[in-house]
Amino acid sequence: MRVVIFGYALSVHVQRWVRGLARRGLEIKLISLGGEPVDEVETHLLARRGSWSYLTRAAAAVREARRFKPDIVHAHYAAGYGLWGRLCRFCPTIVSVWGSDITAFPLHWPGRVLIRSVLNRAYHVTVTSRFLQKETLRLAPAVQPRLTVIPFGVSIPETVEPPPAEGPVRICYIKSHLAMYGPDILLRAMAKVKEALGDVTLSMAGEGELTGELQALAARIGLAENVRFTGFIANDDMSSFLKSHHLMVMPSLREAFGVAVLEASACGRAVVASDVGGVGEVLVDGRTGLLTPPGDVEGLAEAIIKLARDADLCNRMGQAGRQLVTEHYSWDKSLDMMTGLYEQVIHESKK
């Protein structure tokens, strides 16, 4: 099976998809606007030339895809790469919706027209969650018969290490430092957690446009000694990072799915997260972690304090989360679903 993937070469999720499919014996060609070549996979990079690059480079992307003579074309992200997929009329196309391409990009009529056109033209559409399924069908109801939910699966460590036995309760955050992920809300909640527990630590992984402001905020509210800004954590090192903490907190104001929740659960760690978007699909409130209203500093602090004070409850939730991931969200299962869809689409299109 020969597959062209339209997607951003520096995206961790795109890299995992193309490598995973290639390791299963599929012949993959990745075509990306900018980025760097992905090892193990034939990669063609098109230079970015201004803000209209997806449009101006579309013809070159389609020509390159045609040269590969694929059985199927798969565009990851309906906006931008979805446009390239829409222009491929020489084989069936799949468009994968990721989140903001549906929840944010179509807020104005030009975006709505483009995304609706991309989805309606696709042979098949995939989404990562039931939440995104609902949002996609709200925009393009005609795609319902050819829409499949295929989540981003995660790699599951073979063993689960117990939480740190000594020292203060260790909490971690593993999202980018952007307003929509609520890192400032977490810091304000941590000030209340510190008042209740005394000695507690927070590791703020990641980086972003708010990093400097967050560091200043932590110092201003008395958390300079409690918060550690670790910088970017590579995907291969994420499991070890999570295992060195007791629980993970995700205070997002917007989430289409919640891969970070699954990564923490796979490592046997309980999660406190905002009840937004598709998060409730991957975190069972009261069983694998605790859900709180988005933006609620008091509620977030109370949930953290509850788990920090009850080690047995925290551990039970972590174990239940790992079981949930093992049963429903393993990376191998996601690859099975995607390759099965490829075979189905190719078979149907030939008929």
Q: How far apart are CA 300 and CA 290, in angstroms?
A: 9
Mean pLDDT score of the chain: 95
Q: 75 with 93: CB under 8 angstroms? A: yes
Q: What pLDDT, in 10s, does the model give residues 151-202?
A: 999 999 988 888 888 789 999 999 999 999 999 999 999 999 999 998 899 9
| 3-class SS of residue 40 | coil
Could you tell me the pTM of the whole model?
A: 0.91
Pairing, β 289-292 against β 270-274? parallel
Confidence category of residue 111, pLDDT binned at 50, 70, 90: confident
- Buried/exposed 4-23: b ≥16 CB within 10 Å, e otherwise: bbbbbbebebbbbbbbbbbe
Q: What pLDDT, in 10s, does the model give residues 251-284?
A: 999 999 999 999 999 999 999 999 999 999 999 9
Contacts of 126 (CB under 8 A, 6+ apart): 94, 95, 96, 97, 147, 148, 149, 150, 338, 341
Place of tokens 């955050």: 173
Q: What pLDDT, in 10s, does the model give residues 133-148?
A: 999 999 999 999 999 9
pLDDT of 107 over the 80 cut? no
Other Cβ atoms within 10 Å of 233 Cβ, number = 17
Confidence category of residue 306, pLDDT binned at 50, 70, 90: very high
- Domain 169-328 in CATH 3.20.20.150: no
Q: How far apart are CA 273 and CA 254, in angstroms?
A: 11
Confidence category of residue 110, pLDDT binned at 50, 70, 90: confident
pLDDT for res 49: 85
CB-facing half-sphere around the CA of 300: CA atoms within 13 A: 27
Q: What pLDDT, in 10s, does the model give residues 208-237?
A: 999 999 999 999 999 999 999 999 998 889
- Buried/exposed 59-96: b ≥16 CB within 10 Å, e otherwise: eebbebbeebebbbbbbbbbbbbbbbbbbbeebbbbbb
Confidence category of residue 350, pLDDT binned at 50, 70, 90: confident
Share of the chain above pLDDT 90, in %: 90
pLDDT for res 4: 98
Q: What pLDDT, in 10s, does the model give residues 27-75?
A: 999 999 999 999 999 999 999 988 899 999 999 999 999 999 999 999 9
- Arch. (CATH architecture) of 2-153+330-350: 3-Layer(aba) Sandwich (3.40)
> Domain limits of the chain?
2-153+330-350, 169-328
For the chain, the distance separating the N- and C-terminal CA atoms, rounded to the nearest angstrom, is 17
Same fold, 2-153+330-350 and 169-328: yes
Nearest to 65, CA basis, from 126, 6, 1: 6
